[in-house]
Amino acid sequence: MKFSSCPNTPNCVISDIEDKDHYIEPLSFKEQNLESINKKLVEVLKSLGGNVVENKGDYVKANFKSKFFKFEDIAEFNIDLSSKKIYVRSAAQTGWYDFGVNRKRMEKIRKEL
């Protein structure tokens, strides 16, 4: 699945090497099958406050809401079993700047995986 491009705002990250302003390395994993990495990813997302709204095995979409202002971020994950990489896109749905929240969240997910 191909992600939508990031907007021209600094509140989005994406694992698309052609988007140098928003680029983030894909996440890596060691699991041998799709079911196990999907399960682990969903567990990590929930532990960080994510609400999984779509789960199609190799594609997972989750919403995150900030506690104070209730801003919503949408994070998408595309699991590529052959490369053992999870390609990501995470973006704030409102505003211009997110204080690096989306990038920091992806790095927390990377550590947990």
Closest CA to 109 of 74, 75, 58: 75
Query: What is the model's pLDDT at position 1?
Result: 66
Helix residue spans in the chain (DSSP H)? 34-47, 101-112
Is residue 93 packed enough to be buried (19+ CB in 10 Å), middle (13-18) or exposed (0-12)? Answer: exposed
- Domain 12-112 falls in which CATH fold? TATA-Binding Protein (3.30.310)
Residue 97 forms beta bridges with which residues? Answer: none
pTM for the predicted model, two decimal places: 0.93
Q: What is the pLDDT of residues 81-101, one digit of tens each?
A: 999 999 999 998 876 677 788
How far apart CA 113 and CA 111 sit, in angstroms, is: 6
Neighbours of 50 (CB within 10 A): 21
The stretch 53-69 carries a mean pLDDT of: 89
